Every structure is written in C-alpha cells, then in structure tokens.
Structure 1
C-alpha cells in the first residue's frame, strides 16, 4: 500500500520518527504490539531498498515508525534520513507479528536497548491499559539517545527505569530480569551483545527459553570480517561471499533450496549444519548444543576463510 509521509520528527542525534498516512484516506491495517512493517523505496541513485521497522504506534490515522541512521548499515536508513521529506511517498507492507507480546499472568519484564524501544513501547502501553504487572527497563549509551521520551514518560508511574550506560555502566541484568516464577514472561529488543547478556542473566536465574523472546537490530558484520568461500555439501556448489553480505542472501541468489523467515538470527529457520570451518555465531536464538553442530547463515560468519555447510 502507498503511504504519504505526513510528518518527520527528530528524536535525539540519530533518530527520526516518520508519521505515515495511507493514500486515499484508507484506514490503517490492524497491527499488534511488537509488529513491524517493511518500507520499500528508491534512493536518488536508483538503488532499491526494503527495510523493516517496528510500529511505534498510531496517531490520527497515521502510522508511526522510528528510523535510526545506521552509518554501517546497507544504506536504507541513510536514504530515509537524507533524501525523504514530508509530502513524499513510500510503499509500506502489511504489518507482520514476528515479535508478538505474550503477557505474563504474574509479571512481564520488558527491556529495550537504544532504538530497540520501538517495539517495546506498544507492548508497555497494552500492558498498562490492561492493568498488568510489568516493568520496562530502557538502556542507552547516553541520555540523549533515550528516544521517544514522550511515549515512555506517559506510562504508569514507576513502571519505567532508564539507564545511561556510558555514564553509569551497564546495570545488573540479573536484578532487572529477576528470578523465574511460573507466569513470568520476558521480552527484549536491542543489539545482539545486550540480548546475549540478557539471555545469560535469565538462564542463570532459571528462566526457560520458551519464556524469553528477543528481537535484534543492527548490522552483524564486523570490521575484521574477511571474504568467505562457502561450500554446500548437498548442492555441490561453492559461493564466494563478501564481508558485509549475508551467506543466506548469497544462497538465495544462487537458487539454493533453503528455508528462512526473519533474516535476523531470531527464528532459527535457516539453521544449517556445519561440516567444516569455524563459524562466528551472531544469532540470538540457538542453544549452545545447536551452535556446536550448526549455524544461522542469515547473520553469522566464519573465522576461517572457508566454510562447509550441510545444504
């Protein structure tokens, strides 16, 4: 569906909120807390982009999303920040509920890191409106990166705690998560390093994995990544993958039969057995036992120049 950019609102040094109105006065499609939509657009250069962003909320029939400018990303966020203005149009896909809220019967813990506040806010609003017992912990490097302040400040008194980790250091995550009790649920969105630390803190306190739900963001590529040659055992194919690219995307481009869904290392649908090579795991979904046998090629890389997968 085509949407008009009705307004763009800056939040801090690197985030802009886009308020999007369906063309022709159409009603917004229904969406659930934690949903995201895919924006499809072209840069002035003609390069096409398809970027997914969480729904922050809606106001006066307009959909709210927030875009953080990623200098090391694939360019889509920079294009939205630098080339798009109110009055321009975008193609917006239907909302997808891949990070659905599961309210805890006893308690719900919400943790957001940086721009990871975007899917967490509508979850907190829904819990607040239902009178549920919940706590929202919001971490950012400094105070000016605690964005969308008007939204989280409007939540119930005492429900939200903020942390400027660059000044005060990272808080005690075990204290934030709390011990496991039947009827508790944990939802967190943020960079992979934070999510891994949250998982470790929760696991140490007895949380079952099925009650821990993550959504990650940010580029997985690292500056030290080197070109990778991937051998596919069953397909008999060899693929050369450049740093910054995705092994999964390279396989899709080569018409390799492979299942996938999220492309963010969160669902495990693209899991592939590793025959040889040393994978660098950058997912947030696999157990240690699964990592010992395979990897998620959507986000992970390898420490060795060659990698063989059982595909």
Structure 2
C-alpha cells in the first residue's frame, strides 16, 4: 500500500538520532519550541534545492540530503555560529518511500555529526524540491559578518577550491579516464564538509567572512561591497587539490576553476595582520587548512594577479540555471 505524507513523516522524519535538551517541543505540534542559550543570539538561514537546478534526477537521495543540509551548515559556519535546529519543507511528485528513506539516511548522518535536531516542517505534492531552515546560535556580538574587512587585512580561504565544479563535470557526462579520481571529485561536489568548527574558531580573529557557494570571484564581491574595500588575489597561491590538477589540461585551467567553482562550501575570510599568528595556531585545533591568497586594499575593486603581474581574465561566478541543464536529468 502506498504511504501518504503523514505516514512518511511518522515513519521517517519523526525518527532521528538527535534529541537536544534545548528543544522543549519538536515534531508533532503546530510549532516547535526551543530555548536559545543565555548570552547568545539566534542565527537563521534558509536554502532551497530544486531538481534540475541544483541536482539531477539521477542523484541519490542520500547525496541530495547531505548537500542540502551542508549548504545551510556552511552559512552558519560563515557566521561563526553553532548549529542547533532544522525545519524541512519537502515537495515530492508522489510519496516515494524509497527516496524518502535514502534522504533521511543522508540527512541523519550529517545532522548527527553536527548535533542538529529536526524540529518540524512540511511535505507537499509538486516538483521535487527541498527547503531547509537551519537555526544556530552565536555569543552575543561575536558573529562573523561581511562588513568588517579593512585595507591591509589578509585574505584567506579554507581547504581546496575547484573540486566541486570538476566533480559536476563528471556528473554531467564528462568521460571517465580515472575512476578513483572521478569518484573523489564527485564526492567533493555532493559531499562537501561544511567548516563549522573553523567558523567558530575564527570568532574574534577574522574581520569578515563568507562561505563559497557561488564561486570565489562572486562571493568575495559581497565582502568588498559590504566593507567598502577592494582586494588583490594572487592566483598562484590558490589552494588546489592533487585530484584537480591531475584532472585538467593546465595549471591555468585549475586556477580558473578555483576562482569560479560554486558549491565548494569553504570559507573565505579576512584577517588583520595582528591576528595572523593566532589564526595559524587556532586552526590547527580544527583540522582545517587555510591559505593566504591575497590582501584587502582601498581600491573598491578586485584585481587578479600572478607573481606581481595583473591578469586580464574575465570570470564570472557560479550560475545554477546554467551549470545544471535539466534536460540531462
């Protein structure tokens, strides 16, 4: 017998591994009731993923769930917030129990790791889409924002860049010549690890921060605009993985991917000179690497450089409506 939406909610979404003490009332009522820790402010983010725009119909439900939750977690990481609670709105063409089971498996694994409790949401019929609202908290006045960068601050990114786009290329049909390398890059596209611990470690150190979801050259513009500053990036300092370098035809191609690849869910942040030493010590405890790729200046524009020479590259950021062609799904 086909299950209806209420069966799915009861059997899957109400059954989860995380039960937080700060949730007074969770799934099952008209609203959830939670308690924000004393001395903290509430941080809230919402993201939507639509089939054919953010993921293909062939993507596993578990991968889709991980990607959806990771996107929200990355937003909280960029604010230096601690994840806490999640609400989920799920739209499906029909009650697909196998898909929902896989989705819950992927969601629960990542939610348990970051101790995120699902506290409510909605299910409805329609084109497949997932909307998550994630709540977190941050000590009062300590949230990382985009508007604090100053001329002279150093520009950093965590992890490596470009892998997500390289993985998506395989998802969209690029011929596989090395199965292990392709699997690594595809995993980086669907299974990015949000830098939550690093974001919390940056509180009091970083002057501005943002997560890289639309590509570095696009996302850094938000910091520059909000802070009223400019920046120079030395493309020779961009952190590139061995898998990416082996996958492309030239070092320049890898650099351009690193500048434009979306859905990386790494952090881009600025650090005053006086905190550079503190940064290196602090990040060691998180297990996350960070590379200094440039510096903030007063020009109010972004300049790409290589070994001290300006580049005339014309690059744009990630565009979901162009990157995923729904006809391929």
TM-score range, shorter chain: 0.3 to 0.5
TM-score, normalized by length of structure 2? 0.31
Which of structures 1 and 2 has the larger relative contact order (alpha carbons within 8 angstroms, sep 6+)? 2
TM-score, normalized by length of structure 1? 0.32
More helix by share: 2
